Structure 1
Amino acid sequence: MKISGVDIRPGNIIEYEKGIWKVAKTQHTQPGKGGAFMQVEMKNLIDGRKTNVRFRSADTVEKVRLDTKDFQYLYADGDALVFMDKDTYDQINLPADLIGDAAAFLQDGMEVTLEMYDERPISVALPEQVEATIVEADAVVKGQTASSSFKPALLDNGVKVMVPPHIGSGTRIVVDVYERAYVRKVD
C-alpha cells in the first residue's frame, strides 16, 4: 500500500531503494521557505544498515506488511539462536544479531514473534517486559532521597539496570526489555 512521505510513522516497515526498512524515528519539519518534509531515520532489516532520508509530501513509499508467526526460544548454539515453530514444531536457527541487545533477555521456553517477509525471518520481537533476579546491587548511600535517586544493579542475565534504593540482591523485578529499565518489583 502506498503512503505519502509525510505519513511515515515510527515502527512502519517500508520499501525504499529495493530494500526493506524499519522506521526508527521521524521528525516533521516545516521550514520558512519551501515545502514541509519528514526527516526519517530507518534501519535496513536485511543487512542492518542505517540511513536518514527526507521525504516530501509529494513522495510516496510502499508500506510493507509483514507476516508474523509465534515461535518459542529453545537455546543458543554458538552465534545462532534456535527457535521452534509452535504450530509445526520445526526448528529454525537465526543469527543472534537479528535480535540485537534484547538477546540478553531471552529465556528458555520464551514465546517470541518472528516477522517474516517472503517467508524469510527479518526480525524477532520479544515480550515488552520480563522478570529477572538481581544478583548484585550497590548499597544505599546515606542521605539519598528515595524519590529521585536510583542505584545500579546487575541482573542474572548480565544486564545492568538502575533500580530504586530499597531494591536489594536476590529481589525479582520486572524489566522493560527495550528500554533496559526497572518497571516494578515482582509481588
Structure 2
Amino acid sequence: MKINAGEIRVGMLLEHKNDLWQVLKTQHVKPGKGGAFAQVEMKSLNKNTKLNERFRSSETVEKASLDEVNYNYLYEDENNYFFMEPKSFEQIEIKKSLIGEKGKLLTENLEVSVSFYNELPISVDLPKQVICKIETTDAALKGQTVSSSYKPAILNNGLNVQVPPFIEVGDEVIIDTRNLEYIKKN
C-alpha cells in the first residue's frame, strides 16, 4: 500500500530498496529554501543494518502489509519457541533471536500476536502485562523512603527487575512487557 512520505510514523514497516525496514525515528523538516521532506531512520529486519533516508513530501513509499494471527505459546527448545494456532491447531516455530529478552516472559498457553510478512513471521507481540512471581529479592531496610527507593529482584523466569521495598519473595507482580518494568503487586 502506497503512503505519502508525510504519513510515515515510528514503528511502521516499509518496503524500500528490495528490503523490509522498520521506522525507528522520523522528523519532518521544512527548510526556508526548497521543499519539505521527511528524514527517516530505519532498521533492516533482514540484514540488521540501519539507514537514514530523506523522502520529499511529494514522494510515496510502500508500506508493508502484514498479517496478524493469534497463537498460544507451547514450549521452547535450544533455538526456537513453538506456538500453536488455537483454531486449526497448526504449529509454528520462531527463532529465539527474533523475540529476544521478552521470550523469558512466555508462559504455557499465553496468547501472543504474531505478525507475518509474505508468510514469514517477523515479530511477536506479547500481551501488555504479564503476571510473574518473585524468586529472590533483598530485604527492605527500615527507614528507607518508599517514594524513591526500589530494590533489585529476580523473577521466576530469570529476569531482573526493580521493585518497591514492600515486595517480598513469593509475591506475584504484574510486569509491563514493553519495557520489562514492575507495574503493581497482583
TM-score (norm 2): 0.89
Supply the distance in 2 between the matched residues of 1:45 and 1:11 (Cα, whole angstroms).
12
Supply the distance in 2 between the matched residues of 1:104 and 1:96 (Cα, whole angstroms).
10
Secondary structure of 2:101's aligned partner? helix
- Provide, for residues 92-123 of structure 1, a one-character-per-residue CA deviation record: whole Å limited to 9, x for no partner: 12211111221111111111111111222111
- Provide, for residues 29-78 of structure 1, a one-character-per-residue CA deviation record: whole Å limited to 9, x for no partner: 44566544433233323343333333332332111220111111111121
Q: How does 1:2-151 map to 2 (within 5 A)?
A: 2-31=2-31, 34-151=34-151
Please tell me whether the aligned partners of residues 112 and 124 of structure 1 are also in contact (alpha carbons under 8 angstroms).
yes
Secondary structure of 1:136's aligned partner? strand
- Change in Cα spacing, 1:83 to 1:19, as seen in structure 2 (3 Å) is same
- Change in Cα spacing, 1:51 to 1:171, as seen in structure 2 (3 Å) is farther
5+ residue gaps, structure 2, are none
Q: Percent identity?
A: 47
Look up the match of 2:156. Answer: 156
Secondary structure of 2:58's aligned partner? coil
- Range that drifts further, 91-100 or 143-152: 143-152
- Runs of 4+ aligned residues of structure 1 deviating over 6 Å after TM superposition are none
Secondary structure of 2:167's aligned partner? coil
- Change in Cα spacing, 1:165 to 1:36, as seen in structure 2 (3 Å) is farther
Please tell me whether the aligned partners of residues 45 and 123 of structure 1 are also in contact (alpha carbons under 8 angstroms).
no
Task: Return the letter of the residue paired with 1:183.
Answer: I
Supply the distance in 2 between the matched residues of 1:151 and 1:30 (Cα, whole angstroms).
47
Please tell me whether the aligned partners of residues 14 and 62 of structure 1 are also in contact (alpha carbons under 8 angstroms).
yes
Look up the match of 2:167. Answer: 167
Cα RMSD after superposing both structures: 1.9
Supply the distance in 1 between the matched residues of 2:53 and 2:144 (Cα, whole angstroms).
45
How many residues align? The count is 186
Supply the distance in 1 between the matched residues of 2:74 and 2:128 (Cα, whole angstroms).
19
